[in-house]
Chains A and B, each alone.
Chain A
Amino acid sequence: MRRQVPLALCFVFGVVMVLIEFSPHPYSKFLYNEVINWSLIITPFALVLGVATLVQTHWIRIRRRAEYWQYSFVVFIGMIVMVTIGIPFGPSHKAFAWLFKYIQTPMDATMFSLLAFFIASASYRAFRARTLEATLLLVAALIVMIGNAPIGDLIWNKIMPFGENLPSTARQWILENPNLSSRRGVILGVSLGVISQSIRIILGIERSYLGGGD
């Protein structure tokens, strides 16, 4: 029963939701809206599950004195402070907004900013024209990169008597032609994969989402 009921529910809802897409009947619209409402109610429970998992993971790290276990206290302090202010007063409260703006935002932005340094270093070391494919990739990347900065056009226009704004034009051409064609192929492949996987789930062939092995 523990497996049959979820499988049956998945089959019924899967088939019904597909049929609803092709029916303009008022009952079908009513059912569609109801299912959306149900899923809206269910979704916040995922947040609860996320918080519970986070607490559990860091609690275990502290108990086992895992490497850098002290940082798990920072997670708890941060969570408790934000929740203590956020739940009773709401996210628009001045204190919550202050914590977000002056603590979370700079920390998050700083972590991301470090990428610029590592990308510069990594591209210098690893970006080599070793093969034909790597050379094509390298040339395309350099054109897109320099076309993405106004200084590219400026330098080109100053030193070359032809092809005004060529770097940005070339960048646009790469994005609109080779990039677009390959992306479309990827999208079509992924979409076909999603359709086949959905059919497998609806028919109960794919059961890994139930957990606990087969």
Chain B
Amino acid sequence: MLKQIMQIDRRIIFILVALAVIIPTLLKVSFPITISEPTRKLYDYIEDLPSGSTVLIAFDYGPSSMAELQPMGTAFLRHCFQKKIRVIGMTLVTEGATLGYETMQEAAKTTGAIDGVDYVYLGFRPGTIQVMLGMGTTINNIFESDYKEKPLAEIPMMEGIKNYDQIDLILDLASSSTTEAWITYINTRYNQKIAAGVTGVIISQMYPYLQTEQLIGLMSGLLGAAEYETLIETPAKATKRMSVQSFVHLLVFGLVILGNVAFFIQKRENENV
């Protein structure tokens, strides 16, 4: 019996994971979300900004991480648009160009934000650090036109926005090391306020920067997105997906406990023999 538990066929585990995903999706269960301090700090910062402020959001991720990061982007953009805060979107990752555009369009549609007036999407430019540093001199020098090839000089929202001096916050939605580059090069050199929304796997890397306030706020994985949705009182994709994540986490938790209980019983039996 113990041996069978220890050597359970991995296909059975795959089926259990599939069920843990499918059942909560069909039942549409939801759980109360506890708000963490780093997410609240970001929310409070946006709440305290006066309308007409400008934030820059960098969609530095590809399709593999969009399940976690896209809901963060949508929730954050909704909050900004509701508060009449202007948003500049861009990406340092090739695949992020289309994803960022879609996210901005989706948030704009639900809040009535107008392209060129309430938000501008600049798209992608190659050269991560050079792009960051170049924007510190003039944004226009790096992005001469927006994603739809409209010159920045003809976009009303960009009037008076030259570089980071006119930007109140940069939010980096990242699945790799771009947040650390934003902190190292832009926070340090330009004293620019930076916040981040990152995937669950890299969240542990961000805490030293949070303590030193080089990051003013942080959304951690899908949970961070669900927390932000709760804060703006608009439960959406992340809140729904959190129920699925909850069941899968619970399943893995149970499997690890079961595996270890079986391991210890077998170990004791072997010692007695």
Q: How far is the CA of A104 from the CA of B131 in the complex (A)?
A: 26
User: With A100-B98, A153-B34 in contact, is A145–B142 under 8 Å at CB?
Assistant: no
CB–CB A183/B62 < 8 A:
no
Contact with B along A110-128 (1 / 0, CB 8 A): 0111001101110111011
**A79 CB–B CB distance under 8 Å:** no
Say which residue of B124, B134, B264 sits within 8 Å of A37 (CB atoms): B134
Nearest chain A residue, comparing its CB with the CB of B264: A129
User: What is the CB-to-nearest-CB distance from A120 to chain B, in angstroms, rounded to a whole number?
Assistant: 5
Selecting from A7-15, A60-68, A90-98, A201-209, the interface stretch reads A90-98
A33 to B200, CA, bound (A): 36
Q: Is B181 an interface position by the 8 A CB rule?
A: no
Q: Mark B80-117, 1 if CB is under 8 A from A, else 0.
A: 00000000000000010111011000000000000000
| Contact indicator A36/B133 (Cβ below 8 Å) | yes
Chain B residue contacts of A152, Cβ below 8 A: 246, 249-250
Out of A92, A100, A120, name the residue touching B255 (CB < 8 Å): A120
A123 / chain B contacts, CB cutoff of 8 Å: 252, 255-256
Cβ of B178 to closest chain A Cβ, rounded Å = 15
CB of A26 to closest CB in B, whole Å: 13
Question: Beta-carbon contacts of B221-254 to A below 8 Å, as 1s and 0s?
Answer: 1010010000000000000001101111111110
Q: With a CB–CB cut-off of 8 A, which chain B residues contact A128?
A: 259-260, 263
Any B CB within 8 A of the CB of A39: yes
Residues of B near A146 (CB, < 8 A) are 249-250, 253
Count A-side interface residues using an 8 Å CB cutoff. 57
Task: Say whether B32 faces chain A, with CB atoms less than 8 Å apart.
Answer: yes
In the complex, whether A87 has a CB less than 8 A from a CB of chain B is no
Q: Which one of A39, A96, A107, A121 lies within 8 Å of B130 (CB-CB)?
A: A39
Residue B36 CB within 8 A of the other chain: yes
Residues of A within 8 Å of B123, CB to CB, are 91-92
Q: Is the interface of A mostly helix, strand, loop or mixed?
A: helix
B123-180 residues with Cβ-Cβ distance < 8 A to A are: 123-127, 130-131, 133-134, 137, 141-142, 147-149
Q: Which of B7-33 contact A (CB under 8 A)?
A: 8, 10, 13-14, 16-18, 21, 31-33
**Contact between B64 and A109, CB atoms less than 8 A apart:** yes
B32 and A149 contacting across the interface, CB-CB below 8 Å: no
Shortest distance from the beta carbon of A12 to any chain B beta carbon, whole Å: 19
Q: Would you call A184 an interface residue if the criterion is a C-beta within 8 Å of the partner chain's C-beta atoms? A: yes
Contact assessment for B34 and A184 in the assembled complex, using a CB-CB cutoff below 8 Å: no
CB of A125 within 8 A of CB of B127, answer no
Residue contact A176 to B211, C-beta cutoff 8 Å: yes
The reply to whether A33 and B204 form a contact with Cβ atoms under 8 Å apart is no
B52 in contact (CB, < 8 A): no
Cα(A47)–Cα(B94), bound, Å:
11
Given pairs A90-B149, A97-B101, A123-B255, 12 additional interface contacts (CB within 8 A): A36-B130, A37-B141, A117-B13, A128-B263, A145-B249, A146-B250, A148-B221, A150-B223, A151-B249, A151-B250, A153-B31, A180-B208
What is the interface of chain B, defined by CB distance below 8 A to chain A? Answer: 8, 10, 13-14, 16-18, 21, 31-34, 36-37, 62-67, 95, 97-99, 101-102, 123-127, 130-131, 133-134, 137, 141-142, 147-149, 200, 203-205, 207-208, 211, 221, 223, 226, 242-243, 245-253, 255-260, 263-264
The 6 residue pairs across chains A and B that have the minimum distance between CB atoms: A43-B127, A151-B246, A108-B63, A150-B31, A112-B64, A149-B246
Between-chain CB contacts (< 8 Å), 23 pairs: A40-B125, A46-B126, A91-B97, A105-B63, A111-B64, A112-B63, A116-B248, A117-B18, A120-B251, A128-B259, A146-B250, A148-B221, A149-B242, A150-B32, A150-B242, A152-B246, A152-B249, A165-B34, A168-B36, A176-B207, A180-B207, A183-B205, A184-B208
